[in-house]
Amino acid sequence: MRRNIMRLPDKRRWSYREVEERLVHVGRATPTVELGWIEAGERHVDVDDLVAFAAILGLTSGELLEPPAECETCHGAPPAAFMCMECETTALPARGA
């Protein structure tokens, strides 16, 4: 999810400042420094963030939770018991399985 949130604005060539301004317009002010923390995995993305990012990107929250279809690293199928660090797709066994 984190990668989608930061990858999609990048594909649109939006700067952190542009993302910040768009988030303000949808009621979720997020300073540019926090956007950097999100991208680096140093800040969690909560449900309110997810909804705001989906709104500025013209997507549903569910679409942001999906792994990128064009992952060039794992092609959507990492090896069993591993997680792709690029798209965060996991092939880890379910808990209790």
Question: What is the set of domains in the chain, with CATH numbers?
Answer: 2-65 (1.10.260.40), 68-97 (no CATH)
36-93 confidence digits (pLDDT tens): 898 888 898 899 999 999 999 898 998 888 866 667 788 777 888 888 877 777 777 6
What pLDDT is stored for residue 94 in this prediction?
A: 62
What pLDDT is stored for residue 3 in this prediction?
A: 72
14 or 72, higher pLDDT: 14
What pLDDT is stored for residue 67 in this prediction?
A: 66
Whether the pLDDT of residue 18 is over 80: the answer is: yes
What tokens appear for 19 in the block?
A: 């993302």
Q: What is the mean pLDDT of residues 1-24?
A: 83
94 or 12, higher pLDDT: 12
DSSP the chain: -HHHHHHHHHHTT--HHHHHHHHHHTT----HHHHHHHHHT-S---HHHHHHHHHHHT--HHHHHSPPTT-TTTTT-PPTT-B-TTT--B-PPPTT-
**Torsion (CA) 45, 90, 63, 56 in degrees, nearest 10:** 30
Tokens 């069993």 correspond to: 80
